[in-house]
Amino acid sequence: MIESHDPDFVKRQAAYHRRTADRFHKDEIRCNRHLNFAAEFDALASRLEETLQFIAEAKERNNSSTQIAPPGQLRIGNLDELPEELRSQLKISESDQLEMDIVEVIRSLDSCAAIDEILVGLWRKTGKVEDRDFVARKLYRMTRANTINSVPKKKGYFTTNVDSNVKSSELIDLEEISAALKDQL
């Protein structure tokens, strides 16, 4: 199966139209039409390769960003895997547990999440419905403590990436790009 965003497919289309133009070299109208198609496919292939390169670089930036470790989780790790006897010996407040749960939810959502996604993730993780205002205040305090960062120019979005200078334009929507590429084809 050929994917619509495969640059090799687009290049083969350009080559086909150049061959067809050669075949119709005596018919100037047909020849020019196929040469124009070939030029358009060449331009599309170039834009497609640039876009795929951009996507690969953005994924690399997102994957290689250093993660912030929340308080307690840096050395302790996931508390769920510890035996109950050990967990009962640990001095972890509900507030610290909520912070660790929030960070875990954000990380599970590709290290960037809106407050609505965090609320749903917390419910799925703990089965408890958290108050939106309480969580919003907690997120604010966590950003002040550099446990998480807010995403610039994206109100209500939070990230676990250390680089607080992540531009919202660097947060890519692959489905949006795929749809744009399909429209171009």
**What are 68-127's pLDDT values in tens digits?**
454 444 456 667 778 888 878 888 778 888 888 888 888 888 888 899 999 999 999 889
DSSP strand pairing (112-114 vs 157-159): antiparallel
What tens digit of pLDDT does each residue of 16-35 get?
999 999 999 899 999 999 99
Q: Which residues of 44-75 are buried (b: 16+ CB within 10 A; e: fewer)?
A: bbeebeebeeeeeebeeebeeeeebebebbee
The CATH number of residue 108's host domain is 1.10.10.10
In a shared domain, residues 54 and 99: no
Q: 134: domain range?
A: 73-165
Total tally of structural domains belonging to the chain: 2
Q: Where are the alpha helices (DSSP H) in 28-173?
A: 28-64, 73-76, 84-89, 94-108, 115-126, 132-144
* 124 in the same domain as 50: no
The span from the first CA to the last CA of the chain, in angstroms, equals 16
Q: What is the model's pTM?
A: 0.48
What's the pLDDT score for residue 33?
Answer: 94
* Structure token pair of residue 153: 């120019």
Within a 13 Å sphere around the CA of 36, how many CA atoms are in the beta-carbon half? 6
